[in-house]
Amino acid sequence: MPPRRDAQPQTNEEIAALVTQQMAAVLPNIVTQVHQIYNNNNNNNAQCNFQTFNSAKPLKFSGSEGATVLLQCFESIESTFRHIQCPNERKIYFASSIFQRRALTWWNGIMRDRGADVAMELTWEDLKDLMKKEFCPRSEMRALEDEFYYLKLDSEENRAYTDRFEQLSLLCPTMVTPLDRAIEKYIDGLPDPVSQPPIPPSKQEP
């Protein structure tokens, strides 16, 4: 059987017509996707700004309140980050805006010593580590470490035990690193079984 002449386009005009047909089918989808990306970026940029960050009323931090307030500050900022869908590269700009009094003086010193551009390139985790080192007095840290060491589940308050375990883990990370140590520490705080099932006589040692 002779080959079909219409199996493939044979002329430049036929090729051009085929390409035009394919592009006509594809281009609308491409244009739609570009518009979606553009609109999403614009919406994120519009939503993630100082006005929306401040309107969420994150806790201000002066640096004189101690470890518990520092932890509450972290939780407030991270909640605000989630609310405004803040990208990682803008978190330091927003987080540093809540500093006042002693904390603001400290942050200005960080920017002066490291350079403003370098300081603004810190990650949020880096900034939290710096804040814990600066604003958690060593005496308070020792007290928190002691509390963490002896932390136990009392009665049936499992939620309270877990919440405090998570809080102390953030403030005393060396006590729960690596993960295996954290798991062991959590289990150690749970009560021992009230009773063990009796051993059948056949299983008892003579």
Confirm whether 204 is domain-assigned: no
CB 19, CB 62: distance < 8 Å: no
- In angstroms, the CA 99 to CA 22 distance is 57
Of 135, 160, 178, the last residue of a domain is: 135
Domain count, the chain: 2
Question: Cβ–Cβ contacts within 10 Å for residue 62, how many?
Answer: 15
Average model confidence (pLDDT) across the chain: 76
Confirm whether 106 is domain-assigned: yes
Q: Model's pTM, two decimal places?
A: 0.55
113 and 149: one domain? no
154 and 88: one domain? no
CB 141, CB 67: distance < 8 Å: yes
121 and 60: one domain? yes
- In angstroms, the CA 172 to CA 197 distance is 38
51 has pLDDT over 90: no
pLDDT for res 156 = 67
Enclosing domain of residue 160? 138-188
Confirm whether 60 is domain-assigned: yes
Cis ω before 9 (30° cut-off from 0): no
Confirm whether 76 is domain-assigned: yes
pLDDT tens for 56-80 read 788 899 888 778 788 888 888 988 8
User: Would you call 99 helix, strand, or coil by DSSP?
Assistant: strand
